[in-house]
Amino acid sequence: MSTTSDPASPTPQRSAKESVTRAAGVVGFATLLSRILGYARDMIIADLFGAKAAADAFFVAFRIPSLLRRLTAEGALSAAFVPVYTETRATGKGAEAFLLVSNILTILTTLLIGVTLVGEWFAPELVTLIAPGFTDDEETFALTVTLTRITLPYIIFISMAAVVMGTLNAHGRFFAPAAAPALLNVAIIACAYLLADRLAHPAMALAVGVVIGGMLHLGAQLIPLFRLGYRYRPRFDLKDAATRKIGLLMGPGVAGLAVAELNVIVDTLLASLLPQGAVSYLYYGNRITQFPTGVFGAAIGVAALPSMASAMMAGGAEKLRELVSHTVRLSMFVSIPSTVGLIVLAEPIINVLFERGQFGPADRAGAASALICYSVGLVAFSGVKGLVAAFYALKDTATPTKIASLSMLVNIGLNLLLMGPMAHGGLALATSLASFLNMGLLALLLRWRIAGIDGRRIALSTLQMSLAAVLMGGAVYGYITLFYVYDAPALARAGHLTLSIMIGLVVYYYAAVLLGCREAHAVRDRLGARLRRKK
């Protein structure tokens, strides 16, 4: 197989930038489909359970395997695996590269089976650690423990899927790995409708759907992997040089993600001490915030890592520096208007997506508070992903870990300071503020490591985008104030929300173009070229 067009292969800098943008678009589109299904899933959960004890129990139970998944696989393993796998392929050792995949899969699966068994045994202790407030309600606590035991095997399948995802990304295959998470949402929705009335508790159907979704997530990626010529060969070699290198790089990465997930644990722990519904409000607010973060911010990070790794091999720090600047500005172009849009439209979005059944106006206000406070940190959430990818391309997983540790301490302090006057909104705002500290320190240290990140261009673009976003926010606020009615028919509310978003996109784009924003001009030129090709 030729690798001339592979984003993991050394390429001229202009094509490297284009490959990041193009790959980010592919990942973003696939992730968009998954997010839409995710919101459908959350709408069903909100309709069935509202922000009551059963919903809180499921969200806490699902958070435990999700936490273990990120610690043992997705983030840390991908960050360590992709550069080493790319390097192995670049030296012409294609067969050895596939053997490396088999070795990692075998070792990881063996480890995670053990982790799952331990988690099943200590499920009550895990729930007590993460949500101590639940111990005051025996029924909610028992349900959370049961749901945790059902969902724990999910980490085995989703972690194997992470290895496959890293392999496909290194080969320039981005769509299947990005679209596969949609199957988790499909499985949860299907189980909610098919099994809720047949199990001891309706929430158990959601937990079963999580495990089935993990299996489907893995299976959907195996097909394109096999098409690349991969065949699994049983191998368990802890002494393999490439495997040991991944392990050494993964260690600090796991520690860094452990820090990030500890923030989530602390938020959940403190939220469980607040009035009922706080855990759910944070979940719903965070889920909506993750739409632009997941669709665009994470997409840019995923797309950038293989190209950054290749840039380091091909041209060193100079090429990496240009890619970092491009990645950060691309991230800002989406995250800045998303911040303004989500703040202005917080209550209408919650109203359209979740306000039905057991989810009422009071729940809308609670979830909107969390959404606004999380939205403040959107720029930082997205920016961190691109900056961390640059450190991983440098094969430095330790520095992001140290910075994340400091940010975690600041986050905990802000949690304790803000949760009193702001309740669950204070927990969300603390996460946002700590993320800005994380991004700022990463940018400063990376600037020192590679002799600059083109800060002036980033600052100018940020100013132009911010001005355009303010104009957009004014237009959207005016429309919503004039036309949106919270108790109108669902179709009318959805129509006004959609139209307000479209107005915002148009105003932002043209304002950015008039202000001379390079990213807006690049979008215009790319769309124009595509239209000309179609003609």
Both tokens assigned to 426: 């204070």
Distances, alpha carbon 161 to alpha carbons 24, 45, 54, 223, 455, in Å: 20, 26, 29, 12, 37
| 42-76 residue pLDDT tens | 777 777 765 567 777 888 888 777 766 665 545 66
Spell out the alpha helix ranges (H) of 228-360.
241-272, 278-292, 298-315, 317-344, 346-354
Which of the two residues, 70 and 412, has the higher pLDDT score?
A: 412
Is residue 198's pLDDT more than 80? yes
Contact between 497 and 352 (Cβ < 8 Å) = yes
Residue 53 pLDDT? 72
> Rg of the chain over CA atoms, in angstroms?
23
Domain that holds residue 193: 13-453
| Beta-carbon contacts of residue 512 (< 8 Å; ≥ 6 apart) | 333, 464, 465, 468, 519, 520
Q: Mind giving me the DSSP string for 451-504?
A: T---HHHHHHHHHHHHHHHHHHHHHHHHHHHHH--TTS-HHHHHHHHHHHHHHH
Is residue 101's pLDDT more than 70? yes
Q: What SS3 class is residue 203?
A: helix
Q: In angstroms, rounded to a whole number, what is the distance separating the alpha carbons of residues 45 and 48?
A: 5
| 361-377 residue pLDDT tens | 888 999 999 999 999 99
Establish how many alpha carbons lie within 13 A of residue 343's alpha carbon, considering only the half-sphere containing its beta carbon. 18
Burial of 411 (0-12, 13-18, 19+ CB in 10 A): buried
Q: Are 377 and 487 in the same domain?
A: no
Q: Are 338 and 328 in the same domain?
A: yes
Please count the structural domains in the chain: 2
Which of the two residues, 523 and 266, has the higher pLDDT score?
A: 266
Residue type, 123: A
Q: In angstroms, rounded to a whole number, what is the distance separating the alpha carbons of residues 506 and 374?
A: 25
Q: Among 407, 424, 453, where does a domain finish?
A: 453
Residue 174 pLDDT? 75
Is residue 17's pLDDT more than 60? no
Residue 512's pLDDT band, with cuts at 50, 70 and 90, is: very high
Is residue 82's pLDDT more than 90? no
Q: Among 453, 478, 495, where does a domain finish?
A: 453
Average pLDDT rounded to a whole number, residues 297-311:
63
Angle between helices 53-72 and 138-151 (to 10 degrees): 40
Average pLDDT rounded to a whole number, residues 260-269:
69
Residue 465's pLDDT band, with cuts at 50, 70 and 90, is: very high
| 161-182 residue pLDDT tens | 888 888 887 787 877 777 788 8
Both tokens assigned to 491: 């179709």
Q: Are 114 and 176 in the same domain?
A: yes
Residue 4's pLDDT band, with cuts at 50, 70 and 90, is: very low
Residue 439 falls inside a structural domain? yes
Contact between 28 and 266 (Cβ < 8 Å) = no
Binning the chain into helix, strand and coil, the percentages to the nearest 5 are: 85, 0, 15
The model carries a pTM of 0.69
Residue 1 falls inside a structural domain? no
Residue 135 pLDDT? 75
Q: Are 441 and 465 in the same domain?
A: no
Is residue 359's pLDDT more than 70? yes
Q: Are 132 and 247 in the same domain?
A: yes
Is residue 107's pLDDT more than 60? yes
Q: Are 237 and 247 in the same domain?
A: yes
Is residue 3's pLDDT more than 50? no
Q: Among 398, 426, 453, where does a domain finish?
A: 453
Residue 274's pLDDT band, with cuts at 50, 70 and 90, is: confident
Q: In angstroms, rounded to a whole number, what is the distance separating the alpha carbons of residues 217 and 213?
A: 6
Residue 4 falls inside a structural domain? no
Listed residue (476, 388, 477, 369) closest to 432, CA to CA = 369
Distances, alpha carbon 523 to alpha carbons 296, 332, 338, in Å: 15, 14, 17
* Mean pLDDT for the chain overall: 81
Residue 6's pLDDT band, with cuts at 50, 70 and 90, is: very low
Which of the two residues, 464 and 58, has the higher pLDDT score?
A: 464
Task: Please provide residue 92's backbone torsions phi and psi, each rounded to the nearest 5 degrees.
Answer: 85, 15
Listed residue (156, 227, 215, 161) closest to 188, CA to CA = 215
Residue 498's pLDDT band, with cuts at 50, 70 and 90, is: very high
Number of neighbouring beta carbons within 10 Å of residue 273? 12
Q: Are 374 and 479 in the same domain?
A: no
Is residue 398's pLDDT more than 90? no
Q: In angstroms, rounded to a whole number, what is the distance separating the alpha carbons of residues 260 and 400?
A: 11
Distances, alpha carbon 187 to alpha carbons 37, 95, 205, in Å: 10, 35, 10
Q: Are 210 and 291 in the same domain?
A: yes
Q: Are 38 and 112 in the same domain?
A: yes
Average pLDDT rounded to a whole number, residues 10-23:
52
Residue 2 falls inside a structural domain? no
Q: In angstroms, rounded to a whole number, what is the distance separating the alpha carbons of residues 73 and 66?
A: 10
Q: Are 400 and 473 in the same domain?
A: no
Residue 100 falls inside a structural domain? yes
Spell out the SS3 assignment of 54-99. Answer: HHHHHHHHHHHHHHHHHHHCHHHHHHHHHHHHHHHHHCCCHHHHHH
Q: Report the greatest alpha carbon distance in the chain.
A: 67
Both tokens assigned to 193: 């409708």
Task: Please provide residue 444's backbone torsions phi and psi, each rounded to the nearest 5 degrees.
Answer: -65, -45
Listed residue (221, 207, 204, 296) closest to 20, CA to CA = 296
Residue 505 pLDDT? 92
Q: Are 373 and 347 in the same domain?
A: yes
Residue 23 pLDDT? 58
Please count the residues of the chain.
535
Listed residue (210, 177, 173) closest to 45, CA to CA = 210
Residue 100 pLDDT? 87
Q: Are 110 and 235 in the same domain?
A: yes
Residue 296 pLDDT? 64
Residue 529's pLDDT band, with cuts at 50, 70 and 90, is: low
Is residue 195's pLDDT more than 70? yes
Residue 5 falls inside a structural domain? no
Q: In angstroms, rounded to a whole number, what is the distance separating the alpha carbons of residues 279 and 52?
A: 9
Is residue 535's pLDDT more than 80? no
Q: In angstroms, rounded to a whole number, what is the distance separating the alpha carbons of residues 101 and 237?
A: 12
Q: Mind giving me the DSSP string for 396-407?
A: --HHHHHHHHHH
Residue 270's pLDDT band, with cuts at 50, 70 and 90, is: confident
Which of the two residues, 5 and 288, has the higher pLDDT score?
A: 288
